[in-house]
Amino acid sequence: MDLTRFELTPNGKWALLELARPAELNVLDETALAELDLILDKLEAERIKVVVITGQGRAFAAGADVSTMAQYDAKTAEEFSRFGNGVFQKIEDHPAIFIAAVNGFTLGGGCELALACDFRFASTKASFGQPEINLGIIPGFGGTQRLPRIIGPAKAKEWILTGRRYSAEEAHEVGLVSRVVEPDHLLAETKAFAEELVTKSGPILALAKRAINSSVGMGGEDIPLEANLFGQCFATRDGPEGLKAFLEKRSPNFEDR
């Protein structure tokens, strides 16, 4: 498999999956989503039990590709959201257990990728956020659905409606992160946890994951609504203005329409 956005390293029954464009802060563009979709199929075919996802460089993933999104209309935006949502839903529904080793910036679509994983271990240098509101849009890869389930509706509204950035310790306090460790120990501790899990039965891990997800309504039934609302952002004046302002490195001039 020829990969340009990821590096995949099998380790017996578990695998290390790295977002591999550190110069671009591991931005999630359409190519990255398409590669991830294929990788997920490969991991299932090879019966990998556990997957550790991390980012190379100083970011886990800094979000989706704003320069491309700035060209979208409402229909294209909804299609992009549906595609990204579908890929992230495959992680949630996947028989493997996914552990996000969050090493740095984890924003927007990058935060949503971490949300789709089963566990999140964070470096003390990691930061989290859903800053889409500052761009005149909303999260489009499942953030409005998964974040409330994990940290509760009130806290999720605070995160999404303010667009603030939160430290690893703050993310741990609200239950988003399982462990916070020093940067030099992040991968070692995450790998040790992966190696503990692979001693269990693969089919039983998958069944347990499926049972737990069903108990908290993580079936993706509200994902199409989020994609539609994400698309509607691009039919407003403020959505395109927010994206353009971000690219031009200025404050947006929102007109409330």
Domains and their CATH numbers in the chain: 6-184 (3.90.226.10)
Q: What share of the chain is helix, strand, coil (3-state, %, to 5)?
A: 50, 20, 30
Model-wide pTM > 0.95: no
Give the model's pLDDT for residue 72: 95
Give the model's pLDDT for residue 1: 79
User: Amino acid identity of 210?
Assistant: R
Give the model's pLDDT for residue 219: 56
Q: How far apart are CA 3 and CA 35, in angstroms?
A: 7
- The one catalytic residue in 78, 92, 112, 226 is 112
Residues in the chain predicted with pLDDT less than 70, given as ranges, are: 217-223
For residue 255, count CB atoms less than 10 angstroms from its CB and return exposed for 0-12, middle for 13-18, buried for 19 or more. Answer: exposed
Alpha-helical segments (H) within 122-167: 143-151, 153-162
Give the model's pLDDT for residue 230: 82
Give just the sign of the alpha carbon dihedral 63, 66, 71, 73: positive
Of the candidates 164, 175, 50, 53, the one whose C-alpha atom is nearest the C-alpha of residue 102 is 53
Number of neighbouring beta carbons within 10 Å of residue 95: 16
Give the model's pLDDT for residue 108: 97
Give the model's pLDDT for residue 221: 54
Write out the two tokens for 65: 């590709």
Give yes or no: 112 in active site.
yes
Write out the two tokens for 243: 């994206």
Give yes or no: 132 in active site.
yes
pLDDT tens per residue across span 222-252: 567 778 888 888 989 888 988 889 899 999 9
Strand-pairing partners, residue 11, are 14
Q: Is the CB of residue 65 less than 8 Å from the CB of residue 24?
A: no
Q: Is the CB of residue 230 less than 8 Å from the CB of residue 142?
A: no
- The one catalytic residue in 46, 132, 182, 195 is 132
Q: Is the CB of residue 99 less than 8 Å from the CB of residue 119?
A: yes
Give the model's pLDDT for residue 30: 96
Alpha carbons within 13 A on the beta-carbon side of 204 = 5
